[in-house]
Amino acid sequence: GQNIDQPTEMTATEGAIVQINCTYQTSGFNGLFWYQQHAGEAPTFLSYNVLDGLEEKGRFSSFLSRSKGYSYLLLKELQMKDSASYLCAVRWGGGGNKLTFGTGTQLKVEL
Amino acid sequence: DAGITQSPRHKVTETGTPVTLRCHQTENHRYMYWYRQDPGHGLRLIHYSYGVKDTDKGEVSDGYSVSRSKTEDFLLTLESATSSQTSVYFCAISQPGLAGNNEQFFGPGTRLTVL
């Protein structure tokens, strides 16, 4: 089976940097995704890692260590609009491009 | 934005009644998915489809059925709704490929309340 853990809530200050961690145990690992979800809205794709290392995309970066079953999402220069839930999801083998999601980390950005 | 719509967007129904939710896409993506999202559980896969008339069960399929008669439409049916099926339902699509993310794109969601 698949098990994904991420913190439930985090609070950070506008302009700061925040790191949201995700650990997973899964068979047939085939990629890790991060999604952003604002309250009352659909999840939107942020980043994807399948190989170890850091992927950078503007203010957002995502890191993966497959040997440790660990990923993090790094958000820089935080803005109030970054207040949202961040979902870690693992793609695993078996076809169908299926994902298993963590329960999400609710990030609150304060002044 | 990927062309995905869900209907209805909101529905209130009574226990024991059948309910059908529709997902429609204009992207011609092969894979389609139905999820439910509940506090404390995150997104959980109900059913998914590999293609027309080709579906399979996900993590929480009991009490749900699906059908896909056309590439663009994926229907989720609650045969006899129960209060435990009160949730927000999301449809998603993806397209298999030789390389790349093949990320899933999500529809706007349907909020279902079963009284």
CA distances, B18 to each of A15, A17, A80, B11, B56 (Å): 49, 48, 42, 12, 21
Residue A94: pLDDT band with limits 50, 70, 90? low
CB spacing of B44 vs A101 below 8 angstroms = yes
Beta-carbon contacts of residue A4 (< 8 Å; ≥ 6 apart): A22, A23, A24, A26, A88, A89, A90, A100, A101, A102, A103
Give the nearest partner residue to A102 out of B42, B50, B94, using CB atoms.
B42
Tell me the C-alpha distance between B20 and A83, whole Å: 33
Mean pLDDT of A76-82: 98
Q: How many CB pairs under 8 A join A and B?
A: 50
Mean pLDDT of B15-38: 96
Give the nearest partner residue to A42 out of B56, B96, B108, using CB atoms.
B108
B83-93 pLDDT, tens digit each: 999 999 999 99
CB contacts, 8 Å: A102 with chain B: 42
Are A2 and A25 a contacting pair, CB within 8 Å?
Answer: yes
SS3 for B41-57 is CEEEEEEEEEECCEEEE
Tell me whether B45 touches chain A (CB under 8 Å).
yes
Residue B49: pLDDT band with limits 50, 70, 90? very high
Tell me the C-alpha distance between A24 and B22, whole Å: 32
Answer yes or no: is pLDDT of A48 > 70: yes
CB spacing of B103 vs A48 below 8 angstroms = yes
Structure tokens that stand for A35 in this block: 């999604």
